[in-house]
Amino acid sequence: MAQVLEFKLPDLGEGLTEAEIVRWLVEVGDVVAIDQPVVEVETAKAMVEVPCPYGGVVTARFGEEGTELPVGAPLLTVAVGAPEGASGSAASPSSSSSSSGKGSGSGAESSGGSGNVLVGYGTGAPAARRRRIRPDRLDRAVAGAPVSGAPVVEAQVVEAPVAEVLVAEAPVSDGPVPVVSPLVRRLARQHDIDLRRLAGSGPDGLILRADVDRAIRAAEETATATARAAQAPARSQATPSTPSAAVAAAPNGVAAAAGAERIPLRGVRGAVADKLSRSRTEIPDATCWVDADATELMAVRAAMNAATGPSAGPKVSVLALLARICTAALARFPELNATVDTEAREIVRLPGVHLGFAAQTERGLVVPVVRDAHTRNAESIGAEIARLTELARTGKLSPAQLTGGTFTLNNYGVFGVDGSTPIINHPEAAMLGVGRIMPKPWVHQGELAVRQVVQLSLTFDHRVCDGGTAGGFLRYVADCVEQPAVLLRTL
């Protein structure tokens, strides 16, 4: 008798709680091997191929392409083991024994787990703990799924009892709040939810996102009921046909125009929106800028790329040179390679430079990170930027390659603009913006000449330093652009 095992969307790490199905890589009836990628999903961080820890025949898929699933929702079911009646088939004894061997092997492998460890799955791991799923999301995910003919041995999806939907309050404690996920903390902070008053439904009282979601819904229902009670007399006196009444009836006070398109903020776009909103809310940023003569920098780059013989190497981009200048500037002004711990009210200066660079892709804006940029030369930084840019274009960047940056370089000059006041990439403390390099009239050595001019802008967190430090950083960068020989002091 074949066992039908259910494979659920695993925890993809980095605090991600949901993913959107982009493309199925298998069909119902396909035979899959252990650790074979079965679906391509898009998270708020990257596009990821999800491997299945079971080997067997796909009996059902849950969710169409474009469906958003929470972590822990069923992805597919796989029939593992030899089918019943295989011994009575017309196959030869040798093929029968071979088939039986394969079946037993599959069963052993499935029971022992796969080698490609996912969170919640893996070699020799105990059964994954049951995870509460928001009933509304689970209903959408399971609706319309094909029904398998084989019985499912274990269905771990447990519908939460109605009583659990109510928000359980815990006694207020002065001790640490049992929350692991930064996403849960952020969600609670955005909706003014006091985590100390929540009773967690996770292991050992751990507060999960579902607990915060229930608290938010309860608060919204209370606020809605209060607002309706207060507005009841006013509605009885208002004329429904008046423009003010129409606007008031629309959500957020915005009149709903006929044919208006609503685009969900999710995936990369949603993650960018959340991060930029948080940056603007939390960081008191300021911007300073300066025009610089980049003629000498462009000449040095041309000389590097024209070199032949033993000194020749890969082509060096302008972005790579600017990145190397940034690492040199951060060594002189470490205040800007920092972050602010708001809970502890401390400035945390970071020992290494992990340089992020903004890259525009078809999926939206992403910021890949060059690890340990302070240990690399311009050639090494350029090679890593080229590699990460290619991964960004193909949507194959992993979440780890998009997180952990300490400073960001934003080359918006590729869009044909001269200047900008960029928003800091939270939780970093600064971002250098670079406009287009173009010929302009410039006073050079006391005479008017046509030079290659670029505008540089630095947006910084005013909590980590004052204007003097930011101005010193930007002036050093401009000096290196105008006189690349300045960099020789730090090489």
Instruction: Name the β-bridge partners of 290.
Output: 456
* Distances, alpha carbon 37 to alpha carbons 33, 49, 103, in Å: 9, 6, 21
Place of tokens 């109510």: 166
**Cross-strand partners of 70:** 18
User: DSSP secondary structure string, 80-135?
Assistant: ESPPTTGGGSS--HHHHHHHHHHHHHHHHHHHH--SS--BT--TTPPPPPP----H
- Greatest extent of the chain over all pairs of C-alpha atoms, in Å: 98
Q: Is 444 a catalytic residue?
A: no
Cis check for the bond before 161: say yes or no (omega within 30 of 0). no
Report residue 165 CA to chain centroid gap.
29
Helix and strand element counts for the chain (H, E): 10, 19
Residue 352, SS3? coil
Query: In terms of Cα–Cα distance, which of 378, 375, 356, 376 is closest to 367?
Result: 356
Fill in the amino acid letter for 340: V
Count CA within 13 A, CB hemisphere, residue 435. 20
DSSP H or E segment with residue 253: none
DSSP 325: H
**Whether 279 contacts 423, CB under 8 Å:** yes
Q: Among residues 276, 234, 255, 219, which one has the least CA distance to residue 410? A: 276
Q: Which of helix, strand or coil describes residue 5?
A: strand
Instruction: Choose the catalytic residue: 191, 354, 426, 462.
Output: 462
Query: Degrees (nearest 5) of the Cα angle 427, 428, 434?
Result: 135
Residue type for position 470:
A
The SS3 assignment for 42 reads: strand
155 φ, ψ to 5°? Answer: -110, 110
Residues carrying an active site annotation: 462
